[in-house]
Structure 1
Amino acid sequence: MKNAIPIAILCLGGLGCADAPPGGDGEQPLLTSRQRIIGGAVDTTHAYVVGVGNRNRAYCSGTVISRRTVITAGHCHGALTRVFFGPTLGRRSESVRIETSRRHPAFDPATLQNDLTLIRLESDAPVQPAPLLRESMENTTWYVGPGYTFVGYGVSDGVAGTGFGMRRAVTFPIVAVGPAQVGGTPGTIDATQFYYQVPDMNTCAGDSGGPAFLVRGGVERHAGVTSFGDDPCTLDGVQARTDLDQIARFIQPTIDEFEADNPCRADGLCEAACDVGPEIVDPDCADLHCAQDGVCALACAFPADPDCALRAGVQVR
């Protein structure tokens, strides 16, 4: 990698950090990052996108993916104690304490491969979880070409270092799904990553751990975690993949351990009984899954969802 930086907080040596501008009611935003979503707009819709850090401030972004589980970047791991909620992160922001966190066992700090950390909260998150992309990404037009929505809390100007502390989102397509030769900052990406390069749009420091969402069936699904890119965030970036392989190998087993008593976790099984009125609690019930799509929807009866038979070891013909 050349001139690559993790998209986390930059408060090192001569770089310094911008002074936090006052928020509403005189609040000081908790983020002290220099940089963030570039070319994006203020976001008020992705409530499950959160700030991750210690008791004093957030320094990474993350996403609630189950009742008590948050996903963020592997390089954000260490000294994590709190998760913060809301479109603007100030000292009065709602927060939940972190009980424990687990970094991907194959995380490589040199290449940032497998750049994932899962966090267990002490209590339930006050927001609905984001559904996961339970399919395998490939270098096809099904994945390379559609717009992905990137969300995070960094600053909106990577050079001036202004605008941090507010959640922003930007949508653009990706260039390649790893493994691939891509040039740019990483040169190559491996099978745990995907790559993007769009003029005037990017993720940046403070966005680390934040999501990339891909729409499937009208529902946004968590496809990646912001990992690293060029400095000052004007060229390109790399995401850690969170699609089916990582779900099977790391994400789902960890959620199952963190939340063994939670039938409403994002486990590929739609439990409609978890829903409260019109509110969908089980993220696997976020849309109809009556076709063979990898999610068993028990509510589908006539005909039955073929995925339910597959889960029981029976092939439907």
Structure 2
Amino acid sequence: MKAPLLVATCAAIALAAIGCAAEGEREQSEDVATSTDAVVGGAAETGHAYVVGVGSAARASCSGTVIGKRTVLTAGHCYGFNGSGTKAIYIGNKTSGADVVKIAVVEAIRHPGYAVVDRKLTNDIAILKLASDAPMQPAPLFRGTMDNSPRFVGPKLTWVGFGDDVSSTSAFGTTGFGTKRIARFPIDVVGAAQVGGTPGTIDDTMFWYHVPGLSMCHGDSGGPAFLVENGVEHLIGVTSFGDPGCRSDGVQARADAPQIAAFIQPHLDAFEADDACRSDGVCNESCNAEGQVVDPDCHEAHAAADGVCSEAAEDDPDCAAR
């Protein structure tokens, strides 16, 4: 998870400063030092093409999720690295190397309610517009509303990111950043609530987990948490912040119905105005072509063997590889 720092320097005034490098060695958000972000206790992942690196034109520093042909959801504190801006996404199983595809970001919008309150990040989401189409099926959104029922608290969520993979307070990027990793573990509480641990309390834009040995870490910030229902994963949260050493607990920014209605959908509609197949909560079967799900709202309809590959399905035999 990310530990937010309240300034873009190595000052120990944040809830959990995840590690500092010399100036120029790592990129930081304008008002929050890199939060957690590598999957500690996870495994290398070669699927989840719609989980991407996010950063400047030079390198990735966060993670994100493609939710439309030209739209990526990431963390609000990943917005505007060192004043240079959020300029690119990095597609692949790593964020650097010959096989990585880079697409420029032409617009970045942070949630207008984003704020650092009592050393915690509220409304910690941002949406990015790409210069060209992303070459994969977009991830489906979870369009219900989270609560503390057994539907959400208890089942394992799927967590993906490019962050560090070792519990450590070492400098950002020195313990595994840049490789896509995956883990599965449950959450404990949906906000607003008193939870103890690193945050103490969380508001109604957050949910919290405490799973010893499994955590998001530096560089995972902005990456997704997916809820799997009916064999299909849906984006339900965005990695936000946690304890400094990525050892104990973490907080996700909610990306469910309230945030979709208030922030995500209006900007997705604006970014993808010319795409009748964009995510809008209604499956348009006429969009799906060449054996591929094109409309993200159609993933559940094609999670089984039917000649159409859903990359968001856990086990769709129509997909040659996940």
TM-score > 0.5 by shorter chain:
yes
User: Following superposition of structure 1 onto structure 2, how do residues 1-317 of structure 1 map, counting pairs within 5 Å?
Assistant: 5-6=3-4, 12=10, 15-16=20-21, 36-78=38-80, 79-92=85-98, 93-110=100-117, 111-159=120-168, 161-288=174-301
Query: For the Cα contact (< 8 Å) 2:191–2:206, is it kept in 1?
Result: yes
1:102 and 1:124 map into 2 onto residues whose CA distance is 18
**For residue 4 of structure 2, what is the amino acid of its counterpart?**
P
Instruction: Report 1 or 2 for greater relative contact order, CA contacts < 8 Å, sequence distance ≥ 6.
Output: 2
Equivalent residue letter for 1:39: G
Relative to structure 1, the CA distance from residue 250 to residue 34 in structure 2 (aligned partners, 3 Å threshold; closer, same or farther) is: closer
Structure-2 change in CA distance of 1:67 and 1:42 (3 Å)? same
How far apart, in 2, do the equivalents of 1:262 and 1:12 lie? 43
Q: 2:94 is aligned with what amino acid?
A: T
Q: 1:153 to 1:39 in 2, by over 3 A?
A: same
CA shift, 1:275, in A, is: 1.2
Q: Is the 8 A contact 1:85 1:94 kept in 2?
A: yes
Query: Once the 2 structures are TM-superposed, how far is the Cα of residue 11 of structure 1 from its aligned partner?
Result: 7.7
**What runs of 5+ residues in structure 1 fail to find an aligned partner?**
21-31, 290-317
**Counterpart of 2:115 in 1: which secondary structure?**
coil
- Would the aligned equivalents of 2:283 and 2:295 in 1 still touch at CA under 8 Å? yes
TM-superposed deviation, 1:55: 1.3
Q: Is the 8 A contact 2:36 2:244 kept in 1?
A: no
Residue 87 of structure 1 and its aligned partner are, at CA, apart by 0.5
**Equivalent residues of 1:99, 1:121 under 8 A apart:** yes
Q: Deviation digits for residues 94-134 of structure 1, max 9, x if unmatched? A: 01100101000101123311000000001111111000001
Rounded Cα–Cα distance in structure 2 between residues aligned with 1:33 and 1:283? 29
> Which is further off, 136-145 or 274-283?
274-283
Matched residue of 2:270: which SS?
Answer: helix
Measured in 2, the distance between the counterparts of 1:35 and 1:211 equals: 11
Return the offset for 1:34: 8.9
Report the identity percentage: 51
Distance change in 2, residues 1:35/1:281 (3 Å)? closer
Q: Please state how far the C-alpha of 1:237 moved relative to its aligned partner.
A: 0.2
Q: Distance in 2 between matches of 1:145 and 1:258?
A: 35
Note the C-alpha offset of 1:254: 0.9
Find the residue that maps to 1:254 and give its secondary structure: helix
Q: What is the rounded CA distance, in whole Å, between the counterparts of 1:52 and 1:164 in structure 2? A: 12
Give the secondary structure class of the aligned counterpart of 1:126. coil
Deviation per residue, 1:124-178 (Å, 9 max, x gap) = 1111100000100000101000001111001111326422211001100000001
Distance 1:212 1:203 in 2: 10
Mapped partners of 1:257, 1:211: distance in 2: 22
Equivalent pairs counted in the alignment come to 273
Whichever residue aligns with residue 230 of structure 1, its letter is D
The CA distance in 2 between the partners of 1:73 and 1:6, in whole Å, is 11
What is residue 304 of structure 1 aligned with on the other side? none
Q: Which amino acid aligns with 1:121?
A: L
Distance in 2, matches of 1:245 and 1:33, equals 24
Structure 2: how far apart are the matches of 1:155 and 1:123? 29
Measure, in 2, the Cα distance between the counterparts of 1:119 and 1:55.
Answer: 14
Query: 1:33 offset after TM fit, Å?
Result: 9.5
Instruction: Give 1:308's aligned residue.
Output: none
Cα distance in 1 for partners of 2:282, 2:220 equals 30
